[in-house]
Amino acid sequence: MTADVTALLSLLLSRWEGSRDCACRNRPRILRALSALAPHLSGWEHDQVELEVSLKDIEGPDQKVTLQAWLAGRAHLVATSHERDLDHALAVVRRDLIRQIEDERSRREPRKRRKTRYRTT
């Protein structure tokens, strides 16, 4: 994980909507779970990306994990999960956000720069 993305994910945790005790206790777990975002965010400078994570009722029956991203020049992206297991919920929001980032990227790239997905020879 690059230093910029590590700093970005640390900032993400500083905006945590939950108890500070819980944020400190789960910080390494969340950083590990969301580290796969790094290559997908590498096209932006750290000041062009804003991430926010929100955990409500952590590991309770109504747990909700929300991961939001604001990317410069792109739409506001939101991924949520109601999975009861925190690790599974983090994996779900991570995969969903990565999918949304890649969808946005492919939608806005000029056609001539897109990689050909299906090439016939």
Domains, the chain, with CATH or none: 3-110 (3.30.160.100)
User: pLDDT digit string (tens) for 26-82?
Assistant: 777 888 888 888 888 877 777 788 888 888 887 678 889 899 998 887 779 999 999
pLDDT tens for 79-109 read 999 998 889 999 999 999 999 998 888 877 6
The answer to whether the pTM exceeds 0.75 is no
Tell the burial category of 54 from Cβ atoms under 10 Å away from its Cβ (0-12, 13-18, 19+): middle
